[in-house]
Amino acid sequence: MTAPNPHDPPRTVVVTVGMGRWPFDRLLRAVGALGDDYDLFVQRGTSDVPLACPAPRFVSPSELRDRMQAADVVVTHAGNTVRLVQRLGKVPICVAREQRRGEMANDHQVQFLRHEQRSGLAVGLWGELDDLAAAIAGHPAVEAALLATRPKPPEIDLDRAWRLLLHELHVEASSR
Amino acid sequence: MTTGSAQLGDLLVVSSAGGVLLDALALGRSYPGSCSFVAVDAVDTREELAAEHVEFRREPSLRRPLGLLAESVVAWRSMRRRRPGLVLSAGTALAVPWFVAAAVLRVPRVWVETFNIIDRQGLAARVCARIATLVAVQHPARLGVHLRSVLVGELM
C-alpha cells in the first residue's frame, strides 16, 4: 500500500467510539455536521444520533482494523483503539469522553489524551468539536509531520512480560 | 517459565468487551500453559474468542450489589470446578465478582492496567487492583501506584 500524499485532501474517514455502554453523542453530532464531503463510516456504539452514512452500533475487530488501515483519517474516542491506530502507522484524531458530560464514569480518557497529545502521538480535539471538519481536512499534512518526528511505539515482548509476572508471583507465593 | 507455569497451573482470563479485551487476549494467548476465558457476550468477544475455550456471561453492574453477589457465586462454583492456577483480567465490571471469588479460593490474581490508564482508574479497576496478587502496569510511571506491581511494557 502506498502512503497517502499529505497534500491530497482526505477522502475516507472512519470514526469509532468503542464498545462501552456510554453514548458519545457529542462526537457523533460533530460527525453528522461534516456533510457529504467524505466517504464516512461510523461505529456509533450506543448513541442514537442520526447519521446519513453507514453507522452500525458495533463492528467486529477484524472489520474495524481493516477499515482503519484503509482510511485516510481515523477519528476515535481516547480508548485502547488509539494505540491500535498508532501501530497501524497512523496518527489518530482523538476525542476524550468526559465524565461531566455523561460520556464515561471517569476522566481517564481525558488524562490519556493529554499525555498522547503532548507526545505528538495523537491529535486531540476538545470542547464542542467545532474544529472537527478543519482537523480532518488538514490531517494528512499534520500526520505526515508528526510521523516524521514522533517516537515509534516500542516492540511488544509478551514472553518477557510473562517471565516477569511468573517470577513476581513465585516470589509473592514464597513470601507467604 | 515452564517451571513457573507448571507451578501456577491453568490460566483463566476474565474480560469485558472493548479495549480491555485486547490486553487480556495478548497475555492469554501468550501464556506458557493452558488458558480459558470467561467473557462478556459481545461482537468483539464472540469473534476474537471463537477458537478459544470460553464461557460467556453478562456484564454485571457495580451499582447492583445483588447482581454482583450472584455473579460471585457463579464464579466461585465455576472456579471450584475448573481449579485454575491463576486468574487474570484487564477489566471491567465482570472481573470484580470473579476476582472476589478467586480471592476467597486463594487463587492468585493478576490485574492488568490497560495502556490508556495514566492516572485515576475506574471503580472496577480500583477494586480489582486492591485485591489482586499482582498488578501488571504498562507505563513506568505507574510502578509504585500499587502495593505489588510489575512493569511488563506495552501489550498491544
> Per residue in A74-104, pLDDT tens?
999 999 999 999 999 999 999 999 999 999 9
> Per residue in A34-79, pLDDT tens?
988 899 999 999 999 999 999 999 999 999 999 999 999 999 999 9
Contacts B51 to A, Cβ<8 Å: none
Pick the CATH number of A12-174 from 3.60.15.10, 3.30.450.20, 3.40.50.2000, 3.40.50.970: 3.40.50.2000
CA distance B61 to chain A (A): 11
- Say what the ipTM of the complex is: 0.92
By Cβ distance, the residue of A62, A154, A161 closest to B27 is: A161
Return the number of CB contacts < 8 Å for A and B. Answer: 128
Contacts A86 to B, Cβ<8 Å: none
CB contact under 8 A, B19 and A160: no
Distance of CA B135 to the CA centre of its chain: 10
Please answer whether residues A42 and A26 qualify as being in contact, where contact means their C-beta atoms are separated by less than 8 angstroms. no
Number of helices (H) and strands (E), helices first, in chain A? 7, 5
Contacts A78 to B, Cβ<8 Å: 116
CA distance B6 to chain A (A): 10
Contacts B115 to A, Cβ<8 Å: 80, 83
CA distance B3 to chain A (A): 9
Domain ranges (residues) in chain A: 12-174
Measuring CA to CA, which residue among B122, B136, B123, B144 is closest to residue B13?
B136
Measuring CA to CA, which residue among A115, A140, A125 is closest to residue A13?
A140
Q: Is there a domain that residue B145 lies in?
A: yes
Which residues is B149 bridged to in the sheet? B135
- Closest residue in B to A154 (Cα–Cα): B154
CB contact under 8 A, A83 and B110: no
Q: Which three cell numbers stand for residue B33?
A: 500453559
pLDDT for A76: 98
At A2, the pLDDT band (50, 70, 90 cuts) reads low
CB contact under 8 A, B134 and A165: yes
Please answer whether residues B92 and B113 qualify as being in contact, where contact means their C-beta atoms are separated by less than 8 angstroms. no
Mean predicted confidence (pLDDT) in B109-137 = 94
Containing structural domain, residue B74: 2-151
Please answer whether residues A74 and A93 qualify as being in contact, where contact means their C-beta atoms are separated by less than 8 angstroms. yes
Q: Is there a domain that residue B90 lies in?
A: yes
Please state the three-class secondary structure of B40-100 as a single string: ECCHHHHHHCCCCCEEEECCCCCCCHHHHHHHHHHHHHHHHHHCCCEEEEEECCCHHHHHH
pLDDT for B101: 96
> Per residue in B36-91, pLDDT tens?
999 999 999 999 999 999 999 999 998 899 999 999 999 999 999 999 999 999 98
Q: Which three cell numbers stand for residue A152?
A: 515509534
Query: What is the CATH number for B128?
Result: 3.40.50.2000
